Amino acid sequence: MAFADHFSEKSAGYASSRPTYPDELFRALAEKSPGRETVWDCATGNGQAAIGLARHFRHVEATDASAEQVANAKPCAGVTYSVQPAERTHFPDASFDAVNVAQALHWFDFERFNVEVARVLRPGGVILATSYGWSHVSPEFDRELKRIVLDPIHPLWPPQNSHIFNGYRDIPFPYERIDFPPVRIELRWTLAQLLAYIGTWTATRRKLQDDPAFLDRAVAHLARAWGSEDERLVTMPLHVQCGRR
């Protein structure tokens, strides 16, 4: 499977608009790992997860197949960025206590990636795969967002995104399952920030190619459902798969 690069073109916007992950996600991973020396953040993008991992592991190797994404990654003490595909890295055998994959597993060649994970994880090492669920603001706003934005872009999603919609339940995961506490992202966002995040989605970008004013038109409809508050609480449940080698 060739690397399908859906993000390099807008990597700077991805870096500024994608949400960060709650610290409890990485703390729980560290607690379940056999050690806290090294962790591989695979498909790091701009380093959203790598920076959080650095608070709980001595060193983070953060890789991405996109050189443009890595070029826009945020520098952080304890994090080394490199351009490498998920399925084939230069890391020595048994290098890592843990492997983290945030919002990316659905793009991989699953069989080749699992072989690579088995090679680089230490005995008893842990893998954590996470994806965002749909965002929630309020029942009224969520209905309008679905009608104005989500339904029109639905046919434009790449087929791999169906794995996210299924909560990663249909992806091969050949590891000893580990119970993981429920985790969700909570943000105080403006409507503009939420739409900037939606604008980073592959399906949205495809829609904007043919209809550049799509999100601009959506603002007027969504503003009424958003209400008078500048910022509102936006929640995103995380779909989590955790296992041990």
The pLDDT value recorded for residue 10 is: 52
Q: Which residues of 81-108 are buried (b: 16+ CB within 10 A; e: fewer)?
A: beebbbbebebeeebbbbbbbbbbbbbb
- Taking the chain (245 residues) in runs of 10, the rounded mean pLDDT of each run is 47 68 96 98 95 98 96 95 97 98 95 97 97 94 97 96 91 95 94 95 96 94 94 96 95
* Pick from 195, 218, 194, 199: nearest CA to 209: 199
How far is it, in rounded angstroms, from Cα 53 to Cα 40?
Answer: 9
Q: Is there a contact between 101 and 128 (Cβ–Cβ < 8 Å)?
A: yes
- Residue 25: its H or E element: helix 23-32
pTM, rounded to two decimals: 0.88
Handedness of CA 2, 3, 4, 9 (dihedral sign): negative
Residue with tokens 């967002």: 145
How far is it, in rounded angstroms, from Cα 92 to Cα 89?
Answer: 9
The pLDDT value recorded for residue 19 is: 86
| Amino acid residing at 193 | Q
The pLDDT value recorded for residue 5 is: 47
Cα distances from 74 to residues 46, 47, 82, 91, 93, in angstroms, run 6, 6, 13, 22, 27
How far is it, in rounded angstroms, from Cα 210 to Cα 215?
Answer: 12
